[in-house]
Amino acid sequence: MVYIIGLLTLVFLVLTVMVIARLRNVVKGVNSGTETRPENIPSGNSWNANLFILFTIFSIIGVIGTYIAAEEDFLPAASSVHGRRLDDLFWFSMGVLAIPFLVVNFLLFYFSYKYQYKPGRIATYYPENHKLEIIWTAIPAIVMALLVFTGWRAWSDITSEAPADAEVIEIVGKQFNWIVRYGGVDDNRLGNYNYKLIDAQNEVGIDLTDENSLDDFTNNTEIHIPAGRPVLLKIRARDVLHSVFIPHMRVKMDAVPGMPTKFWFVPDKTTNEIRAELGDPNFDYELACTEICGRGHFAMRMRVIVEDEASYRKWVSEQKTFLQTYPEYLAKVPDNLKSKAMKYLPENPTAPATAPADSTTAQEAGAVGVGASASVR
């Protein structure tokens, strides 16, 4: 190792001496006050200049061709009100930024061609030009301020409080699937949850001591939402970081352990309408996870069904409440609510005297346990 370091040091010393020698020759030429110019045009000068123009032409053709080829894979027009606003803002920003990008790069290559070396041509230098500096500073500043303001206003509207009549739906992510809880067959009000109550059946920790929880129901296979009115998604994670993504509606929000998030939107194209629009009778909206959450991340996808209000209400009325599915949990309902809970039990419940013991894993309890319980409405 010592010999290698010594050899490298010697090489660097030789290179340093060579650089200093060349710099001395340059300094001598500057101090002499004479300007040296080659008598002949450098070899390949014209070829290099022409290649700049060819590169510009082929680049423009490549960009346009790539856009046309990829256009069929673009997402269709958004199926939500805010989604179309985001799309318009995206294309507006792309247009505003593309214009100076194309102009500047075209001039960069064109000038390299136009001002190629020619004998007798002398460059003109502008050491300062205050007017020009003000112009090229003020215009980009105004444009960027406009883009920032329009983006901020759109984001503020999207993340504002949901309307009071919004349909409330809770989405819980866990390795490796989604669990959807609805605000009940009667009142559209989600009950409280408590991470300590999570077990093999009660996967989201429904707190049956809350009256609003008695008519809640869950679904692990698909999510139904009504078209034409606000939908509020209450989002949380049971173990690690996940991310709720419904691409065709431009819905994207992380599911963070211990920190509930939310996203509201207005879907306005039913599944049947988007199928007719795309000419694809088998198309389905999809909810996917866009945060790598483990080996089974690829499986975190769920079919999204958007339907008109009447169809949605009919579907909700046909769902079994959590208590109907697991009548043994009646033992966890307080005595003062048992009479109300009986309404949401099957006709002939066979509830045991005691409910199943809680079996929250240490991993889930640690991830969700920022608070013992939380209200979701």
Q: pLDDT-derived band of residue 50, with 50, 70 and 90 as boundaries?
A: confident
Q: What is the pLDDT of residues 178-223, one digit of tens each?
A: 999 998 877 778 889 998 999 889 999 999 998 888 889 999 899 9
Looking at residue 303, its amino acid is R
Which residue intervals of the chain are DSSP H helices?
A: 2-31, 45-70, 81-114, 130-158, 271-278, 309-317, 322-325, 338-341, 362-368
Q: pLDDT-derived band of residue 275, with 50, 70 and 90 as boundaries?
A: very high
Query: Looking at the predicted structure, is the pLDDT value of residue 84 above 70?
Result: yes
Question: Among all chains, which residue has been given the structure tokens 């991830």?
Answer: 367
Query: Looking at the predicted structure, is the pLDDT value of residue 299 above 50?
Result: yes
Q: pLDDT-derived band of residue 99, with 50, 70 and 90 as boundaries?
A: confident
Separation between Cα atoms, residue 27 and residue 31, nearest integer Å: 6
Looking at domain 167-345+352-368, which CATH architecture does it have? Sandwich (2.60)
Give the HSE-up count for residue 126: Cα atoms under 13 Å, Cβ half-sphere.
Answer: 6
How much is the pLDDT for 114? Answer: 86
Q: Mean pLDDT for the chain?
A: 82
When pLDDT is averaged across residues 319-345 and rounded to a whole number, the result is 87
How much is the pLDDT for 348? Answer: 53
Burial of 279 (0-12, 13-18, 19+ CB in 10 A): exposed
Separation between Cα atoms, residue 97 and residue 125, nearest integer Å: 29
Name the DSSP class of 344. G
- Taken in order 320, 326, 328, 333, the sign of the CA dihedral is negative
Q: pLDDT-derived band of residue 314, with 50, 70 and 90 as boundaries?
A: very high
Tokens found for residue 80: 């939500």
Query: Looking at the predicted structure, is the pLDDT value of residue 171 above 90?
Result: yes
Separation between Cα atoms, residue 360 and residue 54, nearest integer Å: 66
When pLDDT is averaged across residues 115-130 and rounded to a whole number, the result is 79
How much is the pLDDT for 231? Answer: 94
Q: What is the pLDDT of residues 232-256, one digit of tens each?
A: 999 999 999 999 999 999 999 999 9
The radius of gyration of the chain's CA atoms, rounded to the nearest angstrom, is: 33
3-state secondary structure of 165: coil
How much is the pLDDT for 39? Answer: 53
Q: pLDDT-derived band of residue 338, with 50, 70 and 90 as boundaries?
A: confident
Query: Looking at the predicted structure, is the pLDDT value of residue 126 above 60?
Result: yes
How much is the pLDDT for 376? Answer: 45
Query: Looking at the predicted structure, is the pLDDT value of residue 17 above 90?
Result: no
Asked whether the beta carbons of 205 and 147 are under 8 A apart, the reply is no
When pLDDT is averaged across residues 63-71 and rounded to a whole number, the result is 89
Looking at residue 56, its amino acid is T
Within 10 angstroms of residue 344's Cβ, the number of other Cβ atoms is 22
Question: Helix 81-114 vs helix 130-158: angle between axes, to the nearest 10 degrees?
Answer: 160
Separation between Cα atoms, residue 356 and residue 148, nearest integer Å: 54
Within 10 angstroms of residue 205's Cβ, the number of other Cβ atoms is 23
Domain chopping of the chain, boundaries: 45-118+129-158, 167-345+352-368
When pLDDT is averaged across residues 280-291 and rounded to a whole number, the result is 93
Give the containing element (helix H, strand E) for 218. Answer: strand 217-219
How much is the pLDDT for 356? Answer: 55
When pLDDT is averaged across residues 307-311 and rounded to a whole number, the result is 93
When pLDDT is averaged across residues 164-185 and rounded to a whole number, the result is 91
Name the DSSP class of 296. T
Q: What backbone phi and psi angles, to 5 degrees, belong to 177?
A: -165, 170
Tokens found for residue 235: 């989002």
Which of 38-52, 121-135, 284-298, 343-357 is most confident?
284-298
How much is the pLDDT for 41? Answer: 61
How much is the pLDDT for 111? Answer: 87
Looking at residue 291, its amino acid is E
Q: pLDDT-derived band of residue 135, with 50, 70 and 90 as boundaries?
A: confident
Separation between Cα atoms, residue 329 and residue 355, nearest integer Å: 5
How much is the pLDDT for 236? Answer: 94
Separation between Cα atoms, residue 205 and residue 116, nearest integer Å: 73
How much is the pLDDT for 6? Answer: 53
